[in-house]
A = this chain, B = another copy of it.
Amino acid sequence: MKNWSVILFSSLTLLFTTSLRAQTPTQAQHAAFIRQVFDSALVQGQSWPMLEHLCKQIGHRLSGSENAHKAVLYTRSQMLKLGFDSVWLQPVMVPVWVRGPKEKAYLLQNKRTSGGLIQQQQINIEILALGGSVATPPGGLTAQVVEVADLEALRALPAGAANGKIVFINQAFDPRNIHTFESYGHCVGNRYNGAREAAAKGAVGVIVRSLTHRIDAYPHTGVMGYGDAQKRIPAAAISTLHAEQLSQMLRDKQEVKLFMEMHCESRPDTLSYNVVGQIHGRELRDEIIAVGGHLDSWDVGEGAHDDGVGCVHSIEALRLLKVNGYRPRRSLRAIMFMNEENGLRGGEEYARLAKELNEKHFAAIESDRGGFSPRQFNVEADSLVIVDMQKWLPLFEPYGVHSIKAGGSGADVGRLRGHAEALLGFVPDSQRYFDFHHAASDVLEAVNRRELELGSAAIAALIYLLDQ
């Protein structure tokens, strides 16, 4: 990459020292600055080394874990090192859930041998306890499996049909949804509410088909909840490959038993932090344009796409503006939210403080959909504000962002709803996201460096235009 490192810097700061201060910049000047932002993201960007550090030097970062704390310290020191004007921690109590030793699971079925004997066959399968689940009884749990298509079918089971059994919720993603988050939205209730609903039917455990299109042996975990249910049964995700296999066995009219053993437990809440870095505005210092991702991840893989990428996007977007000589009118903030995955405590605390301190959030952007090629920004704002923003599209189209429209921002910045003029969500291409989401396969190698860098630059360009 050396060949391109030198060319940029000479011209970078010229634009703003000459034209922007004196008068409103033209569309052509906006375009020129955005081009410089993309150039520096692609030539000498820090997105990749930062993500590499989060993934390889730290690793997965479940709330309350030692790794999560390392990530707090790393992103804090990183923003200090980059010369942000102010960097601070927001204390927040987070839930602590610990997986313990790796889960064990196998299917048991009776097979008649060629000699006529009945033998029990054991088939190992891959499961992952869902976040928040209780453990199985010591030594594990064996019970007959009853399959249901979805929560509705579970609710429709006759009384007693699941008594003493393990319910298997086998709802596949609808492949027809072009945007994969729609498919996720239709199935995520199985994971969150499956245990509660199955327990109400007398079940002793629940396994939920992993929330992905892909057929492979990676189970995908994620948060579940018991609500106010008295009976708490163990809940796990089963890989799609083994879900298909199990379903086939059940279709073959076989009685199938499942053994599962999980050692997970919830412990008392512990202290953790949101990490916030700010570049002060020169005109409207009290107005904030925030961008954030979440620092915690599930406790498998490396939390690369979910959501190391969002943290890196946020820090890098501000860094790109800074190194390109941009002095913002408003204060720009990068926020690493803690505990998005299993509590949202960080997002809640950030919003609570913002309201308490009466901080004016002009806009807040979230990146929590992975590090793929940028395609769109979602906006939660008044319709006329969105129409206004759509005038920026010609500035984004050279970089593949072809749509700005009404749509959800994200779980963390969403807590600022009603307290910010616009909430925005970064929307990259969604086809591959659920291949990796909450699974051991969500590692640095699943991220393409250029796609990551383009995301950082697109968000930096958005912040710049919002600030103008």
A residues bordering B, Cβ < 8 Å? Answer: 1-4, 38-39, 42-43, 149, 171-172, 174-176, 178, 180, 213-215, 373, 375, 398-400, 402-403, 429, 431-432, 435, 448-451, 454
Contacts and interface: CB of A to CB of B under 8 A. Distances in A.
Contact of A402 (B39, B43, B402): B402
21 contacts: A3-B149, A3-B171, A3-B172, A4-B172, A4-B174, A4-B175, A43-B175, A178-B398, A178-B399, A180-B450, A213-B449, A213-B450, A214-B449, A373-B373, A373-B429, A373-B431, A400-B429, A429-B429, A431-B450, A431-B454, A435-B448
Nearest to A247: B2
Contacts of A214: 449
A148 to B, nearest CB: 12
Contact of A39 (B4, B176, B403, B451): B176
A448 B215 CA distance: 12
Contacts of A402: 402-403
Contacts of A1: 172, 175, 215
Contacts of A449: 213-214
Which of A172, A175, A432 has the largest count of B CB atoms less than 10 A from its CB?
A175
A438 to B, nearest CB: 18
Which of A171, A174, A214, A215 has the largest count of B CB atoms less than 10 A from its CB?
A174
Contacts of A450: 175, 180, 213, 431
A176 B43 contact: yes
A422 B12 CA distance: 42
B454 A178 contact: yes
Given A43-B175, A178-B398, A402-B403, 15 more contacts: A1-B172, A1-B175, A3-B171, A4-B172, A4-B174, A175-B450, A178-B400, A178-B454, A373-B373, A429-B429, A431-B450, A431-B454, A432-B448, A432-B451, A435-B448
Contacts of A42: 175-176
Given A1-B175, A175-B1, A431 B451 contact: yes
Contacts of A373: 373, 429, 431
Nearest first, the 10 A-B pairs at minimum CB distance are A42-B175, A402-B402, A431-B450, A39-B176, A373-B429, A431-B451, A3-B172, A432-B448, A42-B176, A373-B431
A63 to B, nearest CB: 30
A278 to B, nearest CB: 29
A222 B281 CA distance: 52
Nearest to A399: B178
A429 B455 CA distance: 14
A390 to B, nearest CB: 14
Contacts of A400: 178, 375, 429
Contacts of A4: 172, 174-176
Contacts of A451: 431-432
Contacts of A431: 373, 448, 450-451, 454
A258 to B, nearest CB: 21
A359 to B, nearest CB: 36
Contacts of A454: 178, 431
A429 to B, nearest CB: 5
A181 B451 CA distance: 15
Contacts of A3: 149, 171-172, 174
A92 B454 CA distance: 43
Contacts of A2: 172
A448 B402 CA distance: 22
Contacts of A176: 4, 38-39, 42-43
Nearest to A251: B2
Nearest to A214: B449
Contacts of A175: 1, 4, 42-43, 450
Contacts of A172: 1-4
Nearest to A43: B175
Contacts of A171: 3
